[in-house]
């Protein structure tokens, strides 16, 4: 982790101390980003243990609860490109701190909710906006700004924070829900969010140039897009990036692949796996433990994917990731939901959960250059639209057909189809559009 040669006298405090020890400050920023995305995973994953308690306390139908969580997933995704614009305009530290505060406000308000519309407002809208500001776009922005070498590995580590958050939070949240109620579990999430906000304010920095550094592994200053001078220009920048990218077939293939990715992960498994297991007689704690096991294998798979994407063709990697995920989802309905057969599913599905992110980020960065974080924001919007469709669709299936299983077959088949499509992504770079005047 050697830092590039720089003038140490221009480096303040901790940055200079680390540089003298040969450690680039980008690794600190990556660590803070990991913690931020991990804490956000607690807010993102909490709905998986809330459906049963909310049904029991308020008598709300699965489809109605799923509607609120689907709104959260839509906003979680649609905020992506605008989150990138906010980071470009106001800086990563401010945006991350504000997002953590917004998540905390939505969760705090939900402790006193009694009506379905309050769930829609607090978990659908407020938490949707908050989690959207600290979604994969945050990791992509940090990885592309702070790293040239090891970019794939860093993106793998940051993406894996979602799995780590699931590993750390879900079994504990399930146990807290059973012992002290769902409100007590959410108080724990609030404490984690508050601690993370303090760390962000103390250690996060917006870009290497802010502390007198170049990106890790860079030999010359990076090409940057000018910061929008006005609010109007800032809000227009994601739309201009979309207009630029929409002429590329590569963009639409990546968008479609991430739609399927979201439909087969966040929207389906993260939201409905626990109640699905409940239909087959497993307790919420046991199901959350299996989801945590998926998180363990996902951590290994995603970090490994980052390492592989630095060395191999990203398109071939995506073919294998989507193909294996699809086969594992098709396999799940044929199991008897015993520990052994669910363990087989956890291994194959877990290794592919978000392993798709590092090669997708790499393809986006290689194709769209300085505007990559804005373009990836739109690709990620496809991810969350797919998640929202699956979150509602699976809930609809459970309410009106008394089974989740059709949703798993559909998601599995979509994964197999997109695996065949994604190998056709073309490489090469689109010239960046001009930044609009302020």
Q: What DSSP string runs through 162-183?
A: HHHHHHHHHHHHHHHHHHH-HH
Q: In the chain, what is the greatest distance between 2 CA atoms, to the nearest angstrom?
A: 68
Cα separation values, 394 from 29, 120, 338, 354, Å: 38, 18, 22, 20
pLDDT category of residue 427 using cuts at 50, 70 and 90:
low
Selected residue with higher pLDDT from 75 and 36: 36
pLDDT mean over 135-145: 82
Q: What DSSP string runs through 278-339?
A: HHTT--HHHHHHHHHHHHHHHHHHHHHHHHHHTTS-HHHHHHHHHHHHHHHHHHGGGS---H
pLDDT over threshold 80, residue 385: yes
Rounded Cα–Cα distance for residues 12 and 17 (Å)? 8
The CA-CA-CA angle for residues 158, 161, 163, to 5°, reads 130
pLDDT mean over 200-205: 92
Selected residue with higher pLDDT from 48 and 201: 201
Comparing C-alpha atoms, which of 45, 39, 80 is closest to residue 360? Answer: 80
pLDDT mean over 380-402: 84
What's the N-to-C CA distance of the chain in angstroms?
A: 39
pLDDT category of residue 260 using cuts at 50, 70 and 90:
very high
Q: What is the pLDDT of residues 215-252, one digit of tens each?
A: 888 777 665 655 666 777 777 888 888 888 888 888 99
Selected residue with higher pLDDT from 402 and 196: 196
pLDDT mean over 57-81: 80
pLDDT over threshold 80, residue 256: yes
Residue found by looking up tokens 């659908």 in the block:
124
Look at the alpha carbons of 259, 319, 395, 189 in this order and tell me if their dihedral is positive or negative. negative
Q: Are 213 and 16 a contacting pair, CB within 8 Å?
A: no
Burial zone of 381 (CB within 10 Å; 0-12 exposed, 13-18 middle, 19+ buried): buried
Which of 216-230, 314-328, 390-404 shows the highest mean pLDDT?
314-328
pLDDT over threshold 70, residue 294: yes
pLDDT mean over 365-393: 82
Q: Are 97 and 21 a contacting pair, CB within 8 Å?
A: no
pTM: 0.69
Q: Are 11 and 211 a contacting pair, CB within 8 Å?
A: yes
Q: What is the pLDDT of residue 212?
A: 82
Q: Are 404 and 62 a contacting pair, CB within 8 Å?
A: no
Helix, strand, coil shares of the chain, percent, nearest 5, are 80, 0, 20
For 18-208+229-422, the fitting CATH number among 3.50.50.60, 1.20.1250.20, 3.40.630.30, 3.40.50.300 is 1.20.1250.20
Rounded Cα–Cα distance for residues 252 and 77 (Å)? 16
Rounded Cα–Cα distance for residues 412 and 421 (Å)? 15
Q: How many residues are there in the chain?
A: 438
pLDDT over threshold 90, residue 320: yes
| Share above pLDDT 70 across residues of the chain, in percent, rounded to a whole number | 89
pLDDT mean over 183-204: 92
Q: Are 365 and 309 a contacting pair, CB within 8 Å?
A: no
pLDDT mean over 357-366: 85
pLDDT mean over 78-107: 87
pLDDT category of residue 167 using cuts at 50, 70 and 90:
low
Alpha-helix residue ranges (DSSP H) falling in 2-135: 13-20, 26-45, 47-58, 62-90, 92-110, 116-119, 127-133
Comparing C-alpha atoms, which of 432, 424, 431, 77 is closest to residue 250? Answer: 424
DSSP code at position 9? G
Q: Are 383 and 356 a contacting pair, CB within 8 Å?
A: no
Token couple for 391: 């979150």
Rounded Cα–Cα distance for residues 221 and 224 (Å)? 9
pLDDT mean over 8-28: 75
Rounded Cα–Cα distance for residues 23 and 18 (Å)? 5
Residue found by looking up tokens 């194709």 in the block:
367
């Amino acid at each position: 982790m050697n830092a590039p040669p720089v003038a140490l006298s221009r480096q303040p405090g901790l940055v200079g101390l680390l540089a003298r020890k040969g450690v680039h400050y980008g690794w600190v920023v990556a660590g803070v980003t990991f913690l931020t995305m991990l804490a956000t995973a607690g807010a993102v994953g909490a709905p998986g243990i809330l459906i049963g308690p909310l049904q029991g306390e308020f008598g709300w139908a699965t489809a109605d609860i799923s509607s609120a969580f689907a709104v959260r997933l839509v906003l979680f995704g649609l905020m992506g490109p605008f989150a990138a614009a906010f980071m470009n305009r106001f800086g990563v530290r401010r945006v991350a701190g504000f997002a953590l505060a917004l998540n905390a406000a939505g969760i705090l308000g939900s402790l006193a909710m009694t009506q379905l519309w309050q769930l829609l407002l607090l978990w659908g809208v407020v938490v949707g906006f908050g989690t959207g500001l600290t979604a994969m776009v945050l990791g992509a922005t940090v990885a592309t700004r702070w790293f040239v070498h090891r970019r794939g590995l860093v993106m793998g580590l940051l993406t894996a924070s979602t799995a780590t958050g699931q590993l750390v939070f879900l079994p504990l949240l399930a146990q807290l829900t059973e012992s002290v109620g769902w409100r007590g579990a959410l108080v724990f999430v609030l404490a984690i969010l508050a601690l993370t906000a303090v760390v962000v304010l103390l250690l996060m920095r917006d870009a290497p140039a802010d502390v007198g550094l170049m990106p890790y592994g860079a030999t010359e200053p990076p090409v940057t897009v000018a910061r929008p001078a006005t609010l109007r220009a800032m809000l227009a920048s994601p739309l201009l990036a979309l207009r630029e990218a929409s002429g590329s077939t590569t963009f639409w293939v990546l968008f479609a692949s991430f739609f399927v990715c979201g439909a087969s992960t966040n929207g389906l498994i993260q939201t409905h796996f626990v109640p699905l297991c409940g239909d087959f007689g497993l307790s919420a704690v046991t199901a959350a433990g299996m989801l945590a096991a998926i998180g363990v294998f996902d951590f290994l798979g995603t970090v490994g994917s980052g390492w592989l994407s630095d060395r191999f063709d990203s398109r071939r990697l995506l073919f294998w990731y989507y193909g294996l995920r699809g086969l594992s989802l098709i396999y799940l309905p044929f199991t008897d939901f015993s520990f052994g057969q669910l363990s087989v599913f956890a291994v194959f599905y877990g290794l592919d959960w978000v392993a798709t992110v590092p090669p997708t980020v790499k393809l986006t960065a290689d194709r769209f250059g300085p505007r990559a974080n804005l373009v990836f924001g739109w690709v990620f919007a496809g991810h969350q639209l797919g998640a929202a469709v699956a979150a509602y669709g699976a809930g609809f299936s459970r309410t009106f057909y008394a089974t989740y299983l059709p949703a798993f077959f559909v998601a599995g088949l979509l994964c197999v189809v997109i695996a065949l499509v994604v190998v056709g992504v073309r490489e090469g770079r689109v010239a960046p559009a001009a930044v609009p005047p302020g």
